Copies of this chain bind each other. A is one copy, B any other.
Amino acid sequence: MTPPRPLRADAARNRDALLAAAADEFAERGLEASVADIARRAGVGKGTVFRHFATKDDLLAAIVIDRMDALDAVGQDLLTADDAATALHEFLTAAAHQRQQRDLSFLQSAGDVSPEVTRTRTRLYATIDHLVARARTQKAIRPDITGADVILLMCAPNYVVSYVPEAPPDLWQRYLAIIFDGLRPAAAHPLPHPPPSLDLSDTAT
């Protein structure tokens, strides 16, 4: 389905180096990080980037997919935990931990750059939806919170922290805690707007 051929050893190493370098570069300079800088950071020639990823957008998509898949795996594991509240908190912790920097790209911002991204995102969203549903059933979180709510709030801790000039690397934990407290039934006040639909339907073939 994806590339059938297993890739030569050195090529695989380069591909990984590129993904890592690109993730760092995108994290530091946003979407306008240049391909040349990414190549330099990965220690390869500019042309090599395009051998592996036909387009800058494809490179971005590959990073996004990688991240989302890794996160989905974590979520799948946690689906079988007994305590749904702890499971959801652990999931959000893993998500925030993935990058303590400005990973703004890894949600919708990457757009529907490729059907593969859409597919992967849909899968991840479904997993989160299940995690949230379980927590709701166990009354660990308030009944008016949906999966979409959590999906949207998930990145807020990292975002918020990105504005602190020399932030300690774990500062996001503070804001995850505050937001998570907002999800608990204890402090619940009626919500002034219905939740959005993020279209979790499976539109993939």
Contacts and interface: CB of A to CB of B under 8 A. Distances in A.
Interface string A172-190: 0111011111111111110
Interface string A149-163: 100110110011111
A171 B193 contact: yes
Given A165-B108, A195-B174, A187 B186 contact: yes
A187 B182 contact: yes
Contact of A178 (B32, B155, B183): B183
A173 to B, nearest CB: 4
Contacts of A145: 178
A164 interface: yes
Given A163-B108, A181-B189, A186-B186, A175 B196 contact: no
A54 to B, nearest CB: 13
A198 interface: yes
A170 interface: yes
A191 interface: yes
Given A156-B156, A182-B180, A192 B173 contact: yes
Contacts of A201: none
Interface of A: 32, 107-109, 145, 149, 152-153, 155-156, 159-165, 167-168, 170-171, 173-175, 177-189, 191-196, 198-199
Given A152-B164, A181-B187, 4 more contacts: A108-B163, A155-B160, A164-B196, A187-B188
